[in-house]
Amino acid sequence: MSSMTKPVVGVIGNAHVVNERHNVQLVGQRNLRAIAEVAGALPLMFAGTPDITDVDALLEAVDGILLTGARANVHPTHFGVEPDPRHEPYDHERDAMALGLIRACVDRGIPLFGICRGFQEMNVAFGGSLHPEIRDIPGRMNHRMPRLENGEVHPDPEVVFADRHEVQLVAEGSFARLLGCETIRVNSLHGQGILEPGGRVVIEGVAEDGTIEAIRIADAPSFALGVQWHAEYDPQSNPINRALFQAFGAALVDHRRGSDNR
């Protein structure tokens, strides 16, 4: 393999039905652009469907994995809670694909970056639980995307993805070192959030209302970070999100070099 080639990032797809009849796999384009334009890698979509995506073959083909945000919640049976129709939709295929994939990435030292749903999946993969509606917990703010008075999502993406709250980072932690500060401001577009952290999940950032916003996986041999906010929205212009994607990009290069030298 030539050392001149770009690292490759596998980007998980989400099950979606178009025109009420066509089953497709969907990835938001901002995820693909963040990888190409900021991490300096080639984004490669793969199906979030275990029966057609061989994890071993996938991990041989990529230098890292991006777990994107998605509309679907992680199904509560993965952390021992009864499902409630109010918290649909779910994406059972992606659940089945992502949870094992996360553990395989960490075991093999393959860089892993989880965003929003991906961050929640990282927690569940290591035995943690989620709360389906963070805003229902006393004292918490509504982390969901802004809506108009009639209930429709606000039409202006700049309003939807605007920085909404601060995140306090753990002093001397991976995020604080990477970002060079201990307080950041982030966007917020999620209903579900981490309730109990998983066994290897280290909390590195918390919103002012106590909501967990940034995690790393303990003793991971490579980059294994997750963020609850949508870091893929603006890393071309937002210095915090740029730093995260650039650090992910550096880990991809390290992984590729290691593969070349084997």
Per-residue pLDDT tens digits for 128-172: 999 988 889 999 888 988 888 888 888 998 998 999 999 999 999
Residue 113 CA to residue 192 CA, distance in Å, equals 18
Q: Which residue has the tokens 């989400």?
A: 14
Per-residue pLDDT tens digits for 91-104: 999 999 999 999 99
Q: Which of 63, 46, 66 is nearest to 5 (CA)?
A: 63
This prediction's pTM: 0.95
CATH code, residues 8-133+190-261: 3.40.50.880
| Separation of CA 71 from chain center | 12
Residue 209: CB atoms within 10 A of its CB come to 14
Residue 214: CB atoms within 10 A of its CB come to 29
Question: Mean pLDDT in each 10-residue stretch from start to end of the chain (262 residues)?
Answer: 77 92 94 98 96 96 96 88 83 94 98 97 97 89 88 88 94 97 94 94 97 97 97 97 98 90 66
Residues taking part in catalysis? 116, 230, 232
The phi and psi torsions of 177 (rounded to 5 degrees) equal -70, -45
